[in-house]
Amino acid sequence: MIAARWDAVPPIAAGLCALAVTAAGFAIAPQVPATHLFVVLHLPILLATSLGASWWVWRHPGCIGLPTILAFALLFRLLAAQEPPSLSSDMYRYAWDGRVQRAGISPYAFAPGDAELKPLRDEAIHPHINRQDAHTVYPPGAQLLFLALPYRLDAVRLCFITLDLLTILLIDRLLRALAQDPARVLLYAWSPLPIYEIGNNGHLEAAVLPLLLAAVLLQRTDQLRSAGTFLGVAASLKLYPLLLALALAPPRWLRLLGPAVGLVGALYLAYGLTAGAGVLGFLPRYVGVAEDHNIGLRAAFEWLLTPVLTLHRREVAFALCLAAMAAGMALVARSTATTVEKVRDLAGIYLLTVPTALHPWYALWLLPWLCVAPRASWLWLVATVPLSYLKYASPGGVMPAWVTPAEFLPTGALLAWETRRRLA
């Protein structure tokens, strides 16, 4: 028992250090640009403490209990929630879309800057909405969630923090179901990615992750229709979770895909009755040049195509990324890996090959599976993708030339090495 108490000292010390850094960082936030503060101060120190504590937990199973991990996780997120969103303004759009719906107006009908919505404008939310001239990009399931959210930013964020704590509890349950040390949830709970992207910026992934974890847990007990329903709800919030059907469904595709696709389709139909084709909102423009951000593989393809193509280079590179994504996912789906390993690799391949913008919070849907089945390549990607915030701190909004190679080259090299070892 004494040894067990001493075993808990290193992770608790790491947690206290991370709390001090988080508190000090936000205390100086008004004087330092948020992008610099996160990338230069918070990211390396919080990353080091969370990875160090996780390494210790892996080496000393049972050294720290879930209540302690949860307590630190909650404190991290509440500290991050003390300041306005610092790295993204998406949460303002969530609140606004909910307000528009409560006024009896389709969220797809008008952009926030349109004169028709002038009576709904306020000083707390409306001025901070990005893309004032753009219709909402969020799918119908997300709109139902926004409809239920309060029109106060702090309340919205607390709702998402609560959902994030539910994610931690579900990771704990998955670890227990797989006979693994539940303390491994620390890798997610103390990671700077959810602390910032959910605790401070309040991203929608907070609602997506519990649904994906529930789908995996239900699939394990052969409850495919229920798993498909949860997967469908997740996909109605953000479309990409449907890709996980490749891991969850075979060989009984219809039992899972039927409820998932049916639910997404029904919600789009319901909102489409009033919005028509406008139900897609900003989504068709999301693949345009103006939205390019942190494109890794596509940038490499465009560079390789430069000597041979002068026209349509972007379109060809886009198609090559999609082909690489399809090939990688097909290989994962046909592999003999466990369900969690397949889910992990499908999420990782999506992030590595996606030809459109790759924002840091997109990596959130990869992180929970690394608590169960860590992989160096995906850990590197999750750890480094926030470096892309340096684009917004650079003159002219140009990404520093070293950032993209630092994210994607080690990820690709590690992935090739891991794959070769597995096939050997």
Domain extents for the chain? 288-424
Counting runs of H as helices and runs of E as strands, what totals does the chain give?
21, 0
Angstrom distance (rounded) from CA 126 to CA 299: 35
At 415, phi and psi to the nearest 5? -65, -40
* Percent residues over pLDDT 90 in the chain: 69
pTM: 0.94
Across 157-171, 252-266, 288-302, 307-321, the highest mean pLDDT is recorded for 157-171
* Percent residues over pLDDT 70 in the chain: 97
Mean pLDDT of 180-187: 96
pLDDT at 316: 94
pLDDT at 3: 45
**Nearest to residue 279, comparing CAs of 257, 293, 294, 264?**
264
The half-sphere exposure of 330 on its side-chain side, counting CA atoms within 13 A, is: 6
What digits encode the pLDDT tens for the residues 371-420?
999 999 999 999 999 989 888 877 777 888 899 999 999 999 999 999 88
pLDDT at 230: 96
Total residue count of the chain as it appears in this document: 424
Structure tokens at 417: 């090495």
pLDDT at 249: 78
pLDDT at 30: 60
- CA distances to 251, 287, 318 from 356, rounded to whole Å, are 31, 6, 8
Asked whether residue 200 carries a pLDDT value surpassing 60, the answer given is yes
Mean pLDDT of 74-100: 91
pLDDT at 2: 43
What digits encode the pLDDT tens for the residues 246-285?
898 777 778 888 999 999 999 999 998 888 878 888 887 7
CA dihedral 87, 89, 90, 96 (to 10 degrees): 160
Sign of the C-alpha dihedral computed for residues 209, 355, 250 and 422 taken in this order? negative
**Nearest to residue 363, comparing CAs of 283, 422, 418, 296?**
296
Angstrom distance (rounded) from CA 247 to CA 219: 10
Asked whether residue 120 carries a pLDDT value surpassing 50, the answer given is yes
Amino acid identity, position 357: A
The total of other beta-carbon atoms located within 10 Å of residue 7's CB is 17
Angstrom distance (rounded) from CA 294 to CA 399: 8
What digits encode the pLDDT tens for the residues 331-366?
999 998 999 999 999 999 999 999 999 999 999 999
Asked if 291 contacts 357 with a C-beta cutoff of 8 angstroms, the reply is yes
**Helix locations, 374-402, DSSP H:** 376-384, 390-393
Angstrom distance (rounded) from CA 189 to CA 167: 9
Helix (H, G, I), strand (E, B) or coil at 26: helix
Structure tokens at 267: 């919600």
Helix axes 90-102, 153-177, angle to 10 degrees: 110
pLDDT at 318: 93
What digits encode the pLDDT tens for the residues 30-76?
655 667 777 777 788 888 999 999 999 999 998 999 999 999 999 99
Average pLDDT of the chain to the nearest whole number:
91
pLDDT at 291: 81
**Nearest to residue 198, comparing CAs of 57, 364, 333, 47?**
364
What digits encode the pLDDT tens for the residues 121-163?
999 999 999 889 999 999 999 999 999 999 999 999 999 999 9
Q: Token match 């990211």: residue?
A: 43
**Nearest to residue 238, comparing CAs of 112, 410, 94, 342?**
94
Mean pLDDT of 282-300: 84
Asked if 145 contacts 151 with a C-beta cutoff of 8 angstroms, the reply is no
What digits encode the pLDDT tens for the residues 25-36?
777 666 556 677
Angstrom distance (rounded) from CA 309 to CA 317: 11
Asked whether residue 286 carries a pLDDT value surpassing 90, the answer given is no
Amino acid identity, position 75: L
pLDDT at 29: 61
pLDDT at 1: 39
